[in-house]
Amino acid sequence: MTGWTINAPGWLTARPIAHRGLHSKQSGLVENTPAAAAAAIAKNYAIECDIQRTKDGEAVVYHDFTLDRLMRAEGRVDAFRAHDLGQLSYKDCNQKIVSLTDFLGRIGGRTPVIVEIKSRYDGDMRLSDRAMAAVAAYAGPACLKSFDPAVLVHLRGAGAVCPLGLVAQARYDTGEEWAGLPQDRRASFADLRDFPRARPDFLSWNQSDLPHAVPMLCREGIGMPVMTWTVRSREALVRGRLWADQIIFEDFEC
């Protein structure tokens, strides 16, 4: 027994999931833009996207905490209001940064959307609340996930009804994202210490860590679906499909 009812509708793993949409430099399709989402829909893929919080509390579809890598602007995303972000230009396309509500509206229920809530691991749940409200108001298939188990704990307590996923991997001892976290915090992520409180409906697991006991036990032991990220080759595709229920892919089409 898991101690909770897993909310895992079939659409979660029914289609391969385009990582940040079906983006491609060669095609001029930049990650997390409406155009990348439209390209994924055209190929019958599901979509994974990332969200960040703006200065005025909106959730916008964008991966990085800063604008520098993708935009013709610099600075932290949360230093700008949503309207001002929407006026900025990408370096490599004519798309604009859009809110999660706008992004979902453009998709219009045509394919599942897996929304990753980016966390600074500081206990600030304003982005989680805004994401929950946007997904609750959306009529199509959509879910929320995060690396931060505290986000899932918060969403559970706030009454989220959409599927909630935990993004995880075997190790947290390398990588810029974890560098500022205390060792015990990183260890708690690796051993899934908060799993019983987070009560995820699905697991999103690093494909470079497959095979691994955690996704195997989730799938075979408690019937929890497992996605794996980020699959970037045919070789990784074979491994991913062997050990997970669906893949999150980029840099090729499957």
Let me know if residue 2 belongs to a domain: no
Selection from 5, 23, 9 nearest residue 248 by Cα: 23
Cα distances (Å, whole numbers) of residue 43 to 6, 22, 110, 247: 29, 9, 11, 15
Q: How far is CA 70 from the centre of its chain?
A: 18
Do the beta carbons of residue 71 and residue 89 sit within 8 Å? Answer: yes
pLDDT of residue 25: 87
Let me know if residue 184 belongs to a domain: yes
Do the beta carbons of residue 231 and residue 210 sit within 8 Å? Answer: no
pLDDT of residue 2: 57
Let me know if residue 4 belongs to a domain: no
- What tens digit of pLDDT does each residue of 27-53 get? 899 999 999 999 999 999 999 999 999
Q: Going residue by residue through the chain (254 aa), what tens digit of pLDDT does each one get?
A: 457 899 999 999 999 999 999 999 888 999 999 999 999 999 999 999 999 999 999 999 999 999 999 999 999 999 999 999 999 999 999 999 999 999 999 999 999 999 999 999 999 999 999 999 999 999 999 999 999 999 999 999 999 999 999 999 999 998 888 989 999 999 999 999 999 999 999 999 999 999 999 999 999 999 999 999 999 999 999 999 999 999 999 999 99
Q: What is the pTM of this model?
A: 0.97
As for how many domains the chain has, the answer is 1
Let me know if residue 1 belongs to a domain: no
Cα distances (Å, whole numbers) of residue 133 to 41, 81, 101: 24, 19, 9
Let me know if residue 59 belongs to a domain: yes
Let me know if residue 206 belongs to a domain: yes
The range of the structural domain enclosing residue 179 comes to 10-249
Let me know if residue 3 belongs to a domain: no
Do the beta carbons of residue 115 and residue 128 sit within 8 Å? Answer: no
Do the beta carbons of residue 188 and residue 168 sit within 8 Å? Answer: no
DSSP state of 91: S
The CATH number that applies at residue 46 is 3.20.20.190
Strand partners, 50: 116
Let me know if residue 254 belongs to a domain: no
